[in-house]
Amino acid sequence: MSVTDLTTQAGWMVGLAIVALLGTGWRKTARATARTPRKAPVLRRNWVPIGIAETTVPLYRRPNVIRRVWAVVASSAIAVVMGAVLAIVTAFALAYAVITLTDLLKQ
């Protein structure tokens, strides 16, 4: 079996898998409906009032400009670091896969 045949077969499998996924997601999903009783039972209970404590709450104040700028800078830094880590992990995984597959072809 040549590399071209293997690539062609893999392409067909990917295409058929996509068609299968589209086919399974095409129909409407079943939704459970709650069954309502024909006549609701009448329950009599002795209701005890619950005490409520009302307290005043300070009004909302927007954070100052420095805090908002710091939030943007911190979230951007976290996004850059996470992107770099994800890129490194992906690169190592792809490099490992390529090395493994090329070693298998040499056998």
Residue 38: DSSP 8-state: S
- At residue 49, φ and ψ (nearest 5 deg) are -65, 145
| Percentage, residues of the chain above pLDDT 70 | 82
Rounded (5°) CA angle 19-12-87? 85
List, for residues 9-56, the tens digit of each pLDDT value. Answer: 989 999 999 888 888 776 666 666 666 666 666 666 777 888 888 889
What is the DSSP code string of 7-66?
HHHHHHHHHHHHHHHHHHHHSPPP---PPPPSSPPP---------------PPP-PPPHH
Instruction: Flag whether the pTM goes above 0.85.
Output: no
Mean pLDDT across 87-104 = 92
Residues 6+ apart with CB under 8 A from 87: none
